[in-house]
């Protein structure tokens, strides 16, 4: 074999309280997992001792904007931290974008992602630009990172597919160039009717081309922004079940409860997934409220209970809208857990799934998992279970892509100089 990871704890076997969990050896050959057994009697070119640490398939970010990432400070910082200043900033930056700079920033972000064990990203790319400069740049990045990261691109008519002249033609050109997914932004169209019309237009186009759909949908605090209903109904009508996602869905936070009780079964029947972006939703939504101030994130636990797939996305890192972030999907899960008050044991585990297996399903990633036959894409975490991983935003001590170790990071520990106290601590209670 090429690589054996010894003494790994898989998420499904991990105890929740830090008590010992069953361990397995993972055998890897020619980029695939070939064996998962308690004790693997085989030799390998390289062995990695996980020593009881959690080993998972990689993190997946279902919602990102790679055309804007790492532009923080260009041409100036967002001093107020508001959505409106962010939009104004993006307007100032857009004419100054060059393909080379965009590619360089995206590649740098992908380096960060790899070190964080984030090996699949769905990124929206703005197509409201005749030159399609960002599309060309991110298609180039997609090709270049393919050996180590799956980059899926969404043609995103950021200024509205109906509202912005030429946007639908640009979107079609972007798809013809190789962009994977059809995007949209119905709540940004001029009227509710235009928003619904944009959903129909884009879903029909996706159905005709056999593509997936992921729309920025109802990213507003307006309880009457109900485009998710049209998105689910169109998904059902066109037979797009399992291929459509609604991103943000923040208006659902403020919707009437009776209306939501009808909406969630419709979403489940249509197989429409939801992608919440907790870091961004908690900072941008409810911003003009006085007190009480709404959280603004969509109804995550309620959707999970209704059988709707929910993933958490990062959305932004160091761009006009968000000055923070470093590609850490555990930070995203940590925020999602708090904002949605998902502190129950199973709920915390669901937050881990929301940055791993669920977005993998939404993106349609093949060969994702820890069973024999899956791609040998794995992350060794300095944690014993998913809950501890979220709590510590655990270090990815090793990241493996197609059987090759592509990143290593030493686990942190503090050295204390306190008389009568231990010399080293690692933030795990000793029993
Ligand atoms: Fe977004």
- Answer whether residue 431 shows pLDDT above 80: no
Mean pLDDT, to the nearest integer, of 45-73? 97
Does a structural domain hold residue 424? no
Taking residue 427's Cβ as centre, other Cβ atoms within 10 Å add up to 12
Mean pLDDT, to the nearest integer, of 55-76? 96
Q: What is the pLDDT of residues 152-183, one digit of tens each?
A: 999 999 999 999 999 999 999 999 999 999 99
Alpha carbon of 193 to ligand 1 centroid (Å): 22
Does a structural domain hold residue 422? no
- Answer whether residue 230 shows pLDDT above 90: yes
98 and 241, same domain (yes or no) = yes
Q: Which helix (H) or strand (E) holds 425?
A: strand 424-425
277 and 386, same domain (yes or no) = no
Residue 36's pLDDT is: 98
349 and 375, same domain (yes or no) = no
Alpha carbon of 372 to ligand 1 centroid (Å): 35
Mean pLDDT, to the nearest integer, of 269-283? 97
Residue 91's pLDDT is: 87
Q: What is the pLDDT of residues 353-387, one digit of tens each?
A: 999 999 999 999 999 999 999 999 999 999 999 99
41 and 120, same domain (yes or no) = no
Residues carrying an active site annotation: 219
132 and 25, same domain (yes or no) = no
CA dihedral 173, 175, 181, 187 (to 10 degrees): 10
- pLDDT exceeding 90 applies to what percent of the chain? 94
Mean pLDDT, to the nearest integer, of 330-338? 98
Alpha carbon of 22 to ligand 1 centroid (Å): 39
Residue 94's pLDDT is: 86
Q: What is the pLDDT of residues 248-267, one digit of tens each?
A: 999 999 999 999 999 999 99
Identify the band that residue 285 occupies on the pLDDT scale cut at 50, 70 and 90: very high
Alpha carbon of 361 to ligand 1 centroid (Å): 19
Picking from 321, 348, 363, the residue at the C-terminal end of a domain is 363
Instruction: Note whether 298 and 322 are within 8 A (CB).
Output: no
In sign, the C-alpha dihedral spanning 219, 223, 225, 228 is: positive
Residue 83's pLDDT is: 80
Does a structural domain hold residue 95? yes
**What string of H, E and C letters represents the secondary structure of 89-155?**
HHHHHHHHCCHHHHHHHHHHHHHHHHHCCEEEEEEEEECCCCCCHHHHHHHHHHHHHCCCCEEEEEE
pTM of the model: 0.97
228: left (phi over 0), alpha (psi -120 to 50) or beta: alpha
**Domain around 42:** 3-57+369-415
Beta partners for 312? Answer: 276
**What string of H, E and C letters represents the secondary structure of 276-345?**
ECHHHHHHHCCCCCCCCCCCCCCCHHHHHHCCCCEEECCECCCECCECCCCCCHHHHHHHHHHHCCCCCH
Residue 2's pLDDT is: 97
114 and 7, same domain (yes or no) = no
Residue 387: CATH number of its domain: 2.30.40.10
Picking from 325, 345, 363, the residue at the C-terminal end of a domain is 363
Q: What is the pLDDT of residues 391-427, one digit of tens each?
A: 999 999 999 999 999 999 999 989 999 999 999 999 9
346 and 375, same domain (yes or no) = no
- Answer whether residue 82 shows pLDDT above 90: no
- Answer whether residue 24 shows pLDDT above 90: yes
Residue 246: CATH number of its domain: 3.20.20.140
Taking residue 307's Cβ as centre, other Cβ atoms within 10 Å add up to 12
- Cα–Cα dist 67/79, whole Å: 21
Nearest to 306 by CA among 371, 348, 337, 262: 262
Taking residue 86's Cβ as centre, other Cβ atoms within 10 Å add up to 20
Number of domains composing the chain: 2
Alpha carbon of 216 to ligand 1 centroid (Å): 6
For residue 59, how many C-alpha atoms fall within 13 Å in the half-sphere facing its CB? 34
153 and 231, same domain (yes or no) = yes
71 and 182, same domain (yes or no) = yes
Does a structural domain hold residue 221? yes
Concatenating the DSSP letter of every residue in 41-70 gives ----SEEEE-TT-BEEPPEEEEEE-TTTTT
Residues 6+ apart with CB under 8 A from 352: 11, 333, 386, 387, 389, 390
325 and 376, same domain (yes or no) = no
Residue 429's pLDDT is: 87
The DSSP output letter for 275 is E
Alpha carbon of 64 to ligand 1 centroid (Å): 6
- pLDDT exceeding 70 applies to what percent of the chain? 100
Identify the band that residue 236 occupies on the pLDDT scale cut at 50, 70 and 90: very high
180 and 44, same domain (yes or no) = no
Does a structural domain hold residue 431? no
Alpha carbon of 181 to ligand 1 centroid (Å): 14
Mean pLDDT, to the nearest integer, of 31-51? 97
Instruction: List the single range of 20-34, 72-86, 410-424 with lowest mean pLDDT.
Output: 72-86
The mean pLDDT value of the chain amounts to 96
Residue 112's pLDDT is: 98
Nearest to 362 by CA among 297, 276, 296, 237: 276
353 and 378, same domain (yes or no) = no
Taking residue 213's Cβ as centre, other Cβ atoms within 10 Å add up to 25
């Amino acid at each position: 074999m090429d690589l054996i990871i010894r003494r790994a704890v898989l998420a499904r076997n991990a105890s929740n309280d830090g008590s010992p969990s069953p361990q397995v050896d993972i055998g890897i050959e020619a980029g695939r997992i070939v064996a998962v057994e308690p004790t693997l009697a085989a030799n390998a070119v390289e062995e990695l001792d996980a020593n009881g640490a959690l080993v998972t398939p990689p993190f997946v970010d279902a919602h990102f904007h790679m055309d804007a990432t790492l532009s923080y400070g260009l041409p100036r910082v967002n001093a107020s931290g508001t959505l409106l200043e962010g939009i104004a900033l993006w307007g100032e930056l857009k004419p100054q974008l060059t393909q080379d700079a965009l590619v360089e920033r995206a590649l740098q972000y992908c380096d960060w992602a790899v070190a964080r064990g984030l090996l699949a990203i769905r990124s929206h790319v703005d197509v409201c630009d005749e030159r399609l400069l960002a599309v060309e740049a991110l298609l180039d990045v997609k090709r270049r990172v393919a050996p180590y990261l799956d980059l899926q691109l969404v043609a995103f008519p950021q200024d509205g597919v109906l509202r912005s002249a030429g946007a639908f033609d640009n979107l079609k050109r972007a798809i013809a160039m190789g962009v994977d997914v059809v995007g949209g932004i119905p709540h940004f169209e001029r009227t509710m009717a235009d928003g619904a019309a944009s959903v129909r237009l884009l879903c029909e186009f996706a159905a005709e081309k056999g593509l997936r759909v992921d729309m920025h949908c109802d990213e507003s605090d307006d309880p009457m922004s109900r485009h998710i209903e049209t998105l689910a109904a169109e998904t059902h009508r066109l037979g797009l079940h399992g291929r459509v996602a609604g991103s943000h869905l923040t208006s659902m936070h403020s919707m009437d409860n009776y209306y939501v009780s009808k909406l969630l079964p419709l979403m489940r029947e249509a197989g429409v997934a939801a992608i919440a972006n907790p870091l961004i939703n908690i900072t941008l939504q409810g911003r003009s409220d006085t007190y009480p101030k709404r959280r603004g994130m969509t109804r995550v636990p309620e959707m999970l209970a209704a059988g709707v797939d929910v993933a958490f996305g990062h959305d932004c890192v160091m761009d006009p809208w968000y000055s923070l972030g470093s590609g850490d999907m555990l930070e995203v899960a940590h925020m999602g857990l708090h904002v949605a008050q998902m502190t129950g044991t199973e709920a915390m585990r669901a937050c881990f799934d929301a940055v791993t297996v669920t977005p993998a399903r939404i993106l349609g990633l093949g060969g994702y998992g820890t069973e024999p036959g899956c791609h040998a894409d794995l992350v060794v975490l300095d944690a014993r279970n998913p809950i501890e991983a979220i709590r510590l935003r655990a270090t990815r001590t090793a990241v493996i892509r197609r059987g090759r170790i592509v990143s290593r990071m030493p686990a942190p520990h503090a050295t204390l100089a306190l008389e009568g106290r231990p010399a080293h601590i690692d933030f795990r209670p000793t029993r």
